[in-house]
Amino acid sequence: MRVGVILTVLIAVASLTGCHGSEATFVLSKETDELIREARKPVEKAVLEHFGTPQKLVAWEKLPIDYGKVEKASADIAADKASSEYARISKINHYSTSHEIPGWQLIDGRNLYMRHCLHCHGVSGDGNGPTAPYLNPRPRDYRRGEFKFTSTAVGVKARRDDLHLVLQNGIPGTSMPSFALLKANELTALVEYVRWLAMRGEFEKRLVAELSSDYSQKAVTERVKNEKRADIVETFNKLTTGTKDQPAEFAGTIKDVGDNLAADWLAAEDEANLIVPKHPRHLPSADPQSVTRGRALYMSEKLKCYTCHGLAARGDGTSTVDYWAIPGSSPEKKFEDRGLHDNWGNAIKPRNLTLGQYRGGRRPIDLYRRIYAGIKGTQMAGFATALRDATDEKGNALNDEQVAARMDRHIWDIVNYILAVPYQPQTIEPRLPMTAQAGPAPAAGAPAK
């Protein structure tokens, strides 16, 4: 009898609570949690004010995001709504094709994201969805505002097109599948929403960075040795509330952080930052020495590709057994395990080039861009700067145009070499001497010293 009652009560409680509490929420970053309580509050408030919650989104106009303008006439919207497509999609997906409110694209993107992306990338885009712990490599945490595979110059963020490409093709060798079955407008909405999540995360990250050197729990623990905690908190509160004759400095910080963020993401869309080769690729079939020159560059002192990718291009260079410093740690700390790590702290491996699988895409232009500007957030540097020869083989000075032409030839040689490695093992053996420089092409099949 008693058991029955308890059971009934339990089920009743479960049925009452079941429908609530399932609302998605954005989580605060680890760095925000590490601030003192008093400093955490204004950060939390600022992020909420400028980005909202997953249910009540805020579209901050400062940011270069296409939130979706209302462009359709009301008659068209009515027609949309009457269509069977709208009825089908809106029921399953809460997907609005109506475009009747400003910011509709953000809502579309959000709803699509919740359906397709959240289980790996998490509600907040922190790469920590329920599936994430089971994946290797882990899903991208967008909140650094960094994406690895871009078509932009060194130090420049990802373009919309780069994210489109990843959605179209997936990332080979990872759990990121292709979403090519989604419609073009759905992909567009997703790209905008992912950029929005990235900017949201980076806004929080940069705000915290402004405060953490003085107001992290660690810093305050250190500071209370010489100062009173109450004084520290009072100074902090002045930052956010201001004084009679000075406006709140934190409001200015929010503005600056927003402005800088907007400028950085805008720069990524600037054509001047898009990497486009000036000279087309020469095919190895037309230039048989190209692969050999590429191998020589791979082994050259100025590029040292082998330190990471290995002498035989198997991704097992010496850097994979070194202990590495945690980037930006001060005083310096090292990772506990050997080998390379990316800016997210995940262990990474240099690509094994004999497999013919490339995360950032396998088109020659993808590889060109990888050599030119590297992989963002990793130790793969942009090598264009090391390939600008000031002189030719005979020591004659070169003009800008000639420098650019030689650089393109060098990069295409490397691309040709990389593309040959999986299919022509003889391009690895016999090994060229370590001191080989990319100079005049050695004769084909020249024996190693």
Partner 1 sequence: MKSMNMTCKTGICLVLAGMMLVGCGLSDTPPVSVTIKKSDEGVATTEVAKADGNTGDKPGATVAAGGSADLVGVVLFDGTPPNLPPIIAMGAEVKDKTVCSATAVPDESLVVDPASKGIQNVFVYLEKAPAGATPIPPPEKQIFDQKGCKFIPHAMIVRTKLPLPVLSDDAVGHNTHTNPVRQSGINGAVSANDRVGALKIIYSKSEQNPFSVTCDVHTWMKAYHLPLDHGFAAVTNEKGEFSIKGLPPGTHTLKVWHESGNALERSLKVTIPAKEPLTLKYNAAKFGK
Window 129 to 168, contacts with partner 1 (CB under 8 A): 145-146, 154-157
Sole binder of partner 1 in the list 32, 124, 378, 416 (CB under 8 A): 378
Q: Which of 414, 429, 374 is nearest to 146 (CA)?
A: 374
Q: Which stretch binds partner 1 (CB under 8 A): 38-46, 119-127, 248-256, 276-284?
A: 248-256
The single-letter code of the amino acid at 262 is A
Minimum CB distance to partner 1, residue 428 (Å)? 20
Task: Output the smallest distance, CB 280 to partner 1, in A.
Answer: 23
- Binders of partner 1 in range 89-118 (CB under 8 A): 94, 101-104, 106-107, 110-111
Of residues 323, 414, 328, 331, the one with CA closest to residue 367: 414
Binding partner 1 by CB under 8 A: which of 325, 424, 425, 433? Answer: 325
Q: How far apart are CA 74 and CA 78, in angstroms?
A: 6
Contact region with partner 1 (CB under 8 A), list: 36-44, 179-187, 202-210, 353-361:
202-210
**Closer Cβ to partner 1, 15 or 136, answer by number:** 15
The smaller minimum CB distance to partner 1, of residues 132 and 381, is found at 381
If binding is defined by CB under 8 A, does position 321 make contact with partner 1? Answer: no
- Judged on CB neighbours under 10 Å (0-12, 13-18, 19+), 421 is buried
Instruction: Return the residues of window 262-291 that contact partner 1 according to CB under 8 A.
Output: 263-264
Candidate residues 98, 174, 237, 307; the one interacting with partner 1 per rule CB under 8 A: 307
User: How many beta carbons lie within 10 A of that of residue 47, not counting itself?
Assistant: 22
Amino acid identity for residue 382 in this structure: G
Residue 388 touches partner 1, criterion: CB under 8 A = yes
**β-pair partners for 334:** 325
The residue within the footprint of partner 1, chosen from 74, 178, 213, 241 (CB under 8 A), is 213
Residue among 182, 233, 365, 386 that touches partner 1 (CB under 8 A): 386
Query: What is the spatial distance between Cα 338 and Cα 30, in angstroms, rounded to a whole number?
Result: 24
Rule CB under 8 A: is residue 399 a binding residue for partner 1? no
- Report the C-alpha gap between 427 and 243 in whole angstroms: 70
Query: Closest Cα partner for 330 from 423, 235, 218, 239?
Result: 218
Q: Is 303 in the site for partner 1 (CB under 8 A)?
A: yes
Residue 303: count of CB within 10 angstroms of its CB:
19
Of the residues 6, 11, 78, 446, which one makes contact with partner 1 according to CB under 8 A: 11
Q: Applying CB under 8 A, which part among 117-125, 288-296, 385-393, 421-429 lies near partner 1?
A: 385-393
Contact 145, 264 (CB under 8 A): yes
The answer to the question of residue 21 lying near partner 1 (CB under 8 A) is: no
Residue 150 CB, nearest approach to partner 1 (Å)? 11
Q: Which of 31, 161, 249, 316 binds partner 1 (CB under 8 A)?
A: 249
Q: How far is CA 14 from the centre of its chain?
A: 40
- C-alpha–C-alpha distance, residues 420 and 414, integer Å: 10
Considering only residues 53-82, where is the footprint of partner 1 by CB under 8 A? 54-62, 67
Q: How many of the chain's residues bind partner 1 (CB under 8 A)?
A: 91
8-state DSSP, 282: P
Q: Which is nearer to partner 1, 37 or 91 (CB)?
A: 91
Name the β-bridge partners of 216: 35
Task: Considering only residues 326 through 355, tell me which ones interact with partner 1, judged by CB under 8 A.
Answer: 327-332
- Considering beta carbons, is residue 167 or 384 the nearer one to partner 1? 384
Strand partners, 152: 274
Cis peptide bond upstream of 137, omega within 30? yes
Nearer to partner 1 by Cβ, of 236 and 358: the residue is: 236
Q: Which is nearer to partner 1, 179 or 298 (CB)?
A: 298
Applying CB under 8 A, the span of 29-37, 131-139, 210-218, 441-449 interacting with partner 1 comes to 210-218
Least distance CB 252 / partner 1 (angstroms): 3
Query: What CA–CA distance (Å, rounded) separates 113 from 125?
Result: 10
Q: Which one of 35, 191, 198, 380 is in contact with partner 1 (CB under 8 A)?
A: 380
Q: Are 120 and 175 in contact (CB under 8 A)?
A: yes
Q: Which amino acid is at 367?
A: L
Q: In this structure, are residues 324 and 317 in contact, taking their beta carbons and an 8 Å threshold?
A: no
Whole-angstrom distance, CA of residue 40 vs CA of residue 63: 23
